[in-house]
Structure 1
Amino acid sequence: MVKRERTNDDRAHERELYRERVDKQDPEAIEKRREQKRQAWYKYKLANPERVKANQQKQNQQKQRAKRKLATRDSDEHIEALPSKAGPKKQQKEGHPGSNVDSSIPLSSYFPTSKGGCLSPNHEPLVFNPIPVTRGSAPTSTSASRFHLSIGDFSSIGQPSMFYPMPSTSTHTHSSTNTLIIPTPKPDSGSAAPPQAPTPFANSECAPASLESPLNVQGVSDRDNRMSSDTRLASMSSLENPSIPNPPKSRPYTIPPPTLPPVDLLSDVIGQQVHESAQTIAWPCGWETVLPTAIQDGVNVLEPDAERVRWMADTRNAVPSERSNVKYLDKAAYGKKNKGALIDDIRKLNGQNYVVVISGGVDDHGKKFESFEDVKEEYSLAVDKSLDLQYHDLIKRAQDEPTGYHTPTTVLGFIENVNNTDVIGMILDIPICKQGLPEPYNQMDDSAIAVQQMKSSQSAKLVGLNLTIHLQHLLSPTWALLHHAGTFTNAHQDADGFCVAGQVLGDRDDPQPKMWALMSFKDPSVAAQAHDKIAQRISDLCIYQNDIAKDDENGRFWDDGIWQECEVEIIYLRPGDIFSFQPPGALHLVYTPRACVASGGHFFCYHSMHLTEWTRKIQHYKSHTITNQAPPRAKDLLSMMMLDFPTKDGQVFHKRAIAAFCKMVLVDEEYVHQGQQRKKIGNRLDQRAEDVAILVAQLCLGVSSDATHTGVISALNEILGTGDYRDPGEPFTLGPELKAAVENMAINVWNVFKKKRKRNLH
């Protein structure tokens, strides 16, 4: 019996059977296995860079040899040319003999069929011959199957414009190796069947984009637009042809900003929570709200605030979509068993200076804020009626009271004035008993994790410390906010380079929302200025100017000239949204059109330490006007994070971020707030952290082991001086060597275990 040779028809049939088997499997399990393979390959590349480089060179050489073969000869003596990279593009532009392709319609607009052909946008069959033939009467397919599918990673995400937009320096293109071509069986003699066209998956999410410059902002938008369009087309084709599965999405699972339902935000506000003469404004999302209003002697003393809110809502000031700073993640796409991937993506996006929002990422309470019991019990804040807090009186702020605008109050007193139209203000940083970030997002808080880890007996033995946790470490990371209707929070940065996250509490269907806006400069050259000059520019934006007695000839109560240099992007936050995983240094302003309760927290994250360092350096010069809160004890948190860092072996970090982390521990005096001086106390917590920081610089960042303390700092400055301040740097995997070095230092330098043994002998 002679074994029959497999033909292209056999291979096509096998692929169909494989697709049918894949369709019957659990999509979450498939994606989990793919993700495990991607992570395993990523770790292999980091561990074996030389071997990966050698394999890549070998593959490139094989490709070059294949290209040098100008033609191949089949059994019928027909000669066919190998497909040219420019062939499909040229045919798409000019058309090709024997095809009915409309040259005005891009190739990506055609739908793939189950047989490998295409349908036009009006669902007409497409006759397409993508391969030019040099000799012979009929075109033939390539002699071998070619399937190139690269695995995408976060390096293909362009750098966003968080605070200072960078110009687009290149366009986003796809390499020919990212094209999926299904070979066509050679037609029988006399058959007029045309060869199959390549499926238009080249730009879809199953074939990720090629690597691009980290500052390629325009490429990000182009890629996102192509992905959303091609995913829609592929989904439509799979409905018509059930044999073709939907192409797998690539992480991070981003979605467009959600479409907001119509909501009445005026009926229970005008005449009840704000004065009946309050004006209204329509927002770009379609919502209509009141403007900030406080009537004194027939005059709205909050008219300057109202002008700022008009500026926010003016579409002429909006950030163009190609420079968007915000990424919306689809929580459902990650599945219930893949929370680690969700947290990992938020970390990486924050480290690349994106703000991350997860619509519907947490459960809402299904009840509006109406009474003290709602705050205490329904929202689980458990605050006491008589708790003394600081009230920010916006009327006194507008009138520039000499005694200041902060007055004492209680939560109950605040709530009793919600429906008092003569009162408007807010309470910030309410201490609450609940966790600032709900599960699983609490895994983002590396500073809280470090505090908890250092409380364990084993960690204390390792570093030889009996730590006393300061009260601020327990209170500052978690807070709640209470706002009256129509309150405006002026542009500012949060203090000490913390990341921020939180949620609006209440009923998602009848929300008491917030308009959370991100401000950035239009001029990209600002990013190249020195820290003190950047600080002055930001300070000019954040200074609250409000002089109703000296309005100018144009009828304005506020000099908005400096704001004309900026643009704004608005996030509409409703209950159920886990909002603004906001990286350090983001300049933001907030408007609350209805009485509102929110909760959240500040935290440090290893992946965004380079942004924390940049922000703290800016606030070293102008913290009085840039921030709106007193600085917490950031140095203690950073020191505990440094002592906990060696336990993270096996995790992936980035060099510039960790270099900034080390520098903040070693030279804390460069990051104290304006007008403050921090003396070296010489406590053991700081000393231990500095010793570990030097080990990290030597073992993870390539600093010479012979470098002095000053030499280590100079090497860290060189690392931070390369690239844009938003660039986290090259990735690396933390190995067990660092933990072993710290244990050795504990024995031979700190004498921790020797002292312990002496105590045991006595």
Structure 2
Amino acid sequence: MSDERPNDLTIGLLGTEVPKNSPMVRWNDGHTTILPAVYDGHDINLCDAVDIPIIKYLAQCPVSLPDSKYVVHFSMKDLPTHDILDSISESLSQNKPVVIRGIGNHYVGEELTAEFLDKYYAISPNRAVWVHDVKARAMDHTRVTQAGLLKDFFKSMKDPGAIQCVLDIPLAQASLPDALKNLDHGLVHGWNHTTYDVPISSKVHPENFTVKGWAILHHAGFLTYPHHDAEGSLTWARMEVGVKFWVVFWPKDRHDDRKHLQEIAIRLGNFTENEDWIRAHCDVEVITLYPGDVLIMPPAQVHAVYTPVASFATGGHFYHYGCMHLTEISRYLDVSSGDCLTNQMLHNALETFRRMMIGIPRLSPRIRMSGGL
């Protein structure tokens, strides 16, 4: 990757990573990208029915800019200030995603290969993974994954007939950037502050500690459908290689009406039949993430992601005392309609919540709870 950011994101893809005749779309921020194309035995593009209409809609949505009323934008130069965590925490507690430009790693000139991941992230080419496949999803949405090895995923990256991703690459050594690490209240306060008084004496699910770091890997042209992340967690993501259009949705009104929030999430999950309703009831912004950019989303944030070029990102989940009112709403959505609203289930939430509750009497007075308590 170079520091240049060309608007034409189709260069070098046609005929090598995607079909030569792949359709294209121009985004509201000036980028041109391919539209996904995987064909059946009758030369019908299986992405025409669902993926392409969604992407065309996303491409028309407004760009998230620094003056956004929904998203708070920072840059790397903001991070040395002593009160940056307070500002980020306040934004997240108000249900506003936070973007920080230029904070992560940026390996200039490195191509995204299995060797690259092995060299910089200790992700072995022989790692076993679950591969999500667009063609399989289009033919049967209940059977979208297959077991494979990471090196085979990279081989198929150069197959114009395949569009795939790996959503869950455990990366326990990854964590929030150093300047942001204390945002993870589940670990910093829940676990760190309670094991002296309440030692760990029973089985504890490893996800309490491992989901703080993971990686995701995508071929060019992969659309992640609208969803929210499960179990009431906050999510952070850092672009390492490539580009992503991260699209976030909010209700135009009735922001505290959980039935309305549930309806929005469900309708977004069946976009092609509800596009007119979504246009009437949702505000939307597109956050374009480049290498080095970090995005932090509050709980229950419904979002879709389009990956126009082969990309690699790291990220993780965490909890925050100031966002527990949003965590409760997110978990309500999980219980009421979870199967159609999220792309991955977690298994550690209640154990971390118990630790966070036990830790409340010992909290620093600097820590603000939900609602400013």
TM-score of the superposed pair, with normalisation by structure 2: 0.90
Q: What is the aligned partner in structure 1 of residue 306 from structure 2?
A: 591
2:168 to 429, 438, 448: 429
- 1:519 equivalent in alignment to 2:259: no
The alpha carbon displacement at 1:468 in A equals 4.2
Match of 1:388 in 2: 128
The question of whether the paired residues in 2 share the 8 Å contact of 1:426 and 1:482 is answered with yes
Aligned match for 1:363, one of 75, 92, 105? 105
Q: Which has the larger radius of gyration?
A: 1
The residue correspondences of 1:296-311 to structure 2 (distance < 5 A) are 296=40, 297-303=42-48, 304-311=50-57
Flag the structure with more relative contact order, 1 or 2, with Cα contacts below 8 A and sequence separation at least 6.
2
What is the alpha-carbon distance in structure 2 between the residues aligned to residue 464 and residue 309 of structure 1? 49
Q: Do residues 638 (structure 1) and 373 (structure 2) align?
A: no
Q: Is contact 2:172–2:214 with CA below 8 Å preserved after alignment?
A: no
Asked if 2 retains the 8 angstrom alpha-carbon contact of 1:346 and 1:356, the reply is yes
Deviations 1:597-655 (A, max 9, x none): 1100010011111111121122221001111112322000111122223332331414x
Sort the Cα spacing of 1:391 and 1:463 in 2 relative to 1 into closer, same or farther, 3 A. same
> Secondary structure, in 3 states, of the residue corresponding to 1:344?
helix
More helix, by proportion? 1
- Are the structure 2 counterparts of residues 415 and 653 from structure 1 closer, same or farther at C-alpha, using a change threshold of 3 Å? same
Q: Which runs of 5+ in 2 are unaligned?
A: none
**1:375 paired residue number:** 117
Residue identity matched to 1:329: F
Match of 1:518, as an amino acid?
A: V
Query: Equivalents in 1 of 2:209, 2:78: separation in Å?
Result: 34
Do 2:63 and 2:287's aligned partners in 1 also have CA atoms closer than 8 Å? no
Secondary structure of the corresponding residue to residue 350 of structure 1: helix
CA distance in 2, matches of 1:319, 1:267: 25
Shift of 1:469: 3.4
The alignment partner of 2:197 has SS state of: helix
Q: Which amino acid aligns with 1:642?
A: M
Find out whether 1:283 has 2:27 as its counterpart: yes
User: What per-residue deviation string (whole Å, max 9, x for no partner) do you get for residues 469-509 of structure 1?
Assistant: 32222322221001110000110010011111121113xxx
Give the root-mean-square deviation of aligned CA atoms. 2.4
Aligned residue type for 2:243? P
Q: Partners of 2:191 and 2:361 in 1: how far apart? A: 15
Q: In structure 2, what is the Cα distance between the partners aligned to 1:480 and 1:360?
A: 18
Structure 2 CA distance for partners of 1:361 and 1:432, relative to 1, 3 Å: same
In 1, Cα distance between the equivalents of 2:256 and 2:350?
Answer: 28
Paired residue secondary structure (1:568): strand
Query: 146, 153, 158: which is aligned to 1:414?
Result: 153
Aligned partner of residue 10 in structure 2, secondary structure: coil
1:485 and 2:220 equivalent?
Answer: yes
The answer to whether residue 209 in structure 2 is matched with residue 474 in structure 1 is yes
- Say if 1:291 and 1:486, in contact at 8 Å, map to a contact too: yes
Identity %: 25
Matches within 5 A, 1:593-672: 593-654=308-369, 657=370
Tell me the distance in 1 between the aligned counterparts of 2:6 and 2:187. Answer: 39
CA distance in 2, matches of 1:321, 1:504: 19
For the Cα contact (< 8 Å) 1:389–1:408, is it kept in 2?
A: yes
Q: 1:368 to 1:478 in 2, by over 3 A?
A: same
Partner SS for 2:157: coil
Counterpart pick for 1:438 among 177, 185, 200 = 177
> CA, structure 1 residues 451+533, in 2 after alignment: closer, same or farther (shift >3 Å)?
closer
Letter in structure 2 aligned against 1:357: V
Contact 2:174/2:214, CA 8 A, preserved across alignment: no
Offset of 1:387 from its aligned partner?
A: 2.4
Which of the numbers 266, 284, 297 marks the counterpart of 1:568? 284
Residues 369, 432 of structure 1: CA spacing in aligned structure 2 closer, same or farther, 3 A cutoff? farther
| Contact persistence 2:300–2:326 (CA under 8 A) | yes
Which consecutive residues of structure 1, in runs of 5 or more, have no partner in the other structure?
Answer: 1-259, 507-511, 546-557, 658-727, 733-762
8 Å CA contact 2:54, 2:271 repeated in 1: no
- Summarize the Cα distance change of 1:651–1:384 in structure 2 as closer, same or farther, 3 Å threshold: same
Q: 1:301 to 1:561 in 2, by over 3 A?
A: same
